């Protein structure tokens, strides 16, 4: 792969993207919530060339939402293997310590949360602690609608 292009793409992602794990209400789950890892970033439609470069150099399943009235494209990677592929390709080119730490945390999350495995209470608490640390590393202000991780951890400690 072209390392100069990957270096450039990593820079775009560090400036416009995030590595996160959403905590979403889900009444069908044992503890009434689920954890959804995500890679997300927004690119101006004027820079559609960059979107094409991401697609050419990082072969993952992309979810693109074009908001033409705002002139942006919101790009999301949701699937486990696609997130791992994205991070393994770009992580050697990340420069920011916070981005490098987010990559470490996401990989640690995937070690804890193995596919098709029901998590123990302790594993779920470990995963929520990763979510908490990822949130602290976010560069944008906290969304007040997000589920409170500390409250979820406290509730899990009370469950027998």
* 113 secondary structure, DSSP code: S
Give the pLDDT of residue 125: 92
Burial class (CB in 10 A: 0-12, 13-18, 19+), 4: exposed
Domain 3-158 fold is Endonuclease I-creI (3.10.28)
- Give this prediction's pTM: 0.88
pLDDT in tens, the chain (160 residues): 689 999 999 999 999 999 999 998 888 877 788 899 999 999 988 888 998 999 999 999 988 888 878 888 899 999 999 999 999 999 999 999 999 999 999 999 999 998 667 888 899 999 999 999 999 998 665 555 677 888 888 888 887 7
The answer to whether residues 79 and 31 touch, using CB atoms and an 8 Å cutoff, is no
Give the pLDDT of residue 116: 62
Give the pLDDT of residue 69: 83
């Amino acid at each position: 792969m072209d390392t100069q292009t990957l270096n450039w793409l990593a820079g775009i992602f560090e400036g416009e993207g995030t590595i996160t794990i959403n905590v979403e209400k889900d009444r069908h789950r044992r503890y009434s919530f689920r954890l959804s890892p995500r890679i997300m970033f927004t690119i101006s439609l004027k820079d559609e060339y960059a979107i094409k470069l991401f697609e050419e150099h990082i072969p993952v399943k992309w979810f693109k939402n074009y908001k033409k009235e705002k002139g942006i494209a919101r790009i999301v990677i949701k699937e486990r293997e696609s997130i791992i592929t994205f991070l393994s390709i770009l992580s050697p080119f990340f420069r920011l310590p916070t981005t490098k730490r987010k990559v470490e945390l996401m990989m640690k999350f995937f070690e804890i949360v193995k596919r098709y495995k029901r998590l123990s209470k302790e594993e779920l608490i470990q995963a929520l602690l990763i979510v908490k640390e990822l949130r602290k590393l976010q560069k944008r202000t906290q969304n007040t609608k997000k589920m409170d991780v500390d409250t979820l951890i406290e509730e899990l400690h009370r469950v027998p």
